[in-house]
Amino acid sequence: MKTRILVVDDERSMREMLSILLEREGYEPVEAKNADEALQLFETSIFDLVISDIQMPGINGIELLARIKKLAPEVPVLMITAFATAEQAVDAIKLGAFHYFTKPFNNDEIRALIRNALEKRDLKQENTLLKQSAQAKDGFCGIIGKSARMRELFGMIQKVAGSLSSVLILGESGTGKELAARAIHVSSARKAKPFVAVNCGAIPETLIESELFGHKKGAFTGAVVDRPGLFEQAEGGTLFLDEIGELPLLLQTKLLRVLQEREFRRVGDAVIRKTDVRVLTAS
């Protein structure tokens, strides 16, 4: 899998120049023309490193840096600008920027900084894995294994845990998909919040929508009280939907909208509710 680097700059020529440089080095660049677009990409994708301009319309690079560090603190961020000030440099470093440099820049300097940032990130992840493995002796977050393949899995879990993206876990029945989902949750910034798991194939088709989104009193026969669904129970944390393929197609469409818009309605209710839940799925 190629190392993915997000390039954020309102100048198209700068984005294209950096992307060409990154591609030549074997990286996979993804471009964003402003901070809003970058944050949207962060919600659906995993990045290994970010290169961002500071002076941009709307949300500037310093504010973007602060938000990225809240979303994915382990992702290194390089800041670039044509108008350097000591105050900006201090702010960027305080907020966790890996490095700060000015335009025009030297290509060799960029290459070296990227390698250094990625190496330090990998070293931190390895140290975290070693600490967790030492605490769990032969396992990681409840998953037992010491082989090279298992260490690779643990590293992947650690990487995915730092993202906001929804994740699909594939595997045969009994291979530990829920364990992997729990490990992602425990390794993430949401670990202090609820982890809620449900087997979609074990709930009758007529009840699954109410189970996920809740219902309003009187929404259907037997709905004698208002009832929150699993999304509300998992607020701030992680919702794990096992056997996602068992969901009816219409409900899959509704779920997709929830993932995109981060809002839903209880069955029989007109009130739109916002949700902050990371969804992990398995099949």
Structural domain contains residue 277: yes
Predicted pLDDT of residue 128 = 63
In this structure, the answer to whether residues 86 and 192 fall within a common structural domain is no
What span, in angstroms and rounded, lies between the C-alpha atoms of 236 and 38? 22
Give pLDDT tens digits for 163-183.
Answer: 778 889 998 877 788 888 988
Shortest CA distance to 121 belongs to which of 150, 169, 66, 78? 78
Domain carrying residue 54: 4-121
Here the CATH number for the domain that contains residue 90 is 3.40.50.2300
Structural domain contains residue 30: yes
Return the minimum-mean-pLDDT range out of 24-28, 55-59, 101-105, 129-133: 129-133
In this structure, the answer to whether residues 11 and 109 fall within a common structural domain is yes
Give, rounded to a whole angstrom, the gap between the first and last alpha carbons of the chain: 22
Q: How far is CA 98 from CA 78, 94, 269, in A?
A: 6, 10, 47
In this structure, the answer to whether residues 114 and 191 fall within a common structural domain is no
Here the CATH number for the domain that contains residue 178 is 3.40.50.300
In this structure, the answer to whether residues 84 and 31 fall within a common structural domain is yes
Give pLDDT tens digits for 195-253.
Answer: 999 988 888 888 899 999 999 998 888 888 888 999 999 999 999 999 998 888 889 99
The pTM of the full predicted model, rounded to 2 decimals, is 0.56
Q: Considering its fold, how many domains does the chain have in total?
A: 2
Give pLDDT tens digits for 1-45.
Answer: 688 999 999 999 999 999 999 999 999 999 999 999 999 888 778
In this structure, the answer to whether residues 109 and 201 fall within a common structural domain is no
Which of 63, 92, 121 is a domain's end point? Answer: 121
Structural domain contains residue 221: yes
In this structure, the answer to whether residues 75 and 171 fall within a common structural domain is no
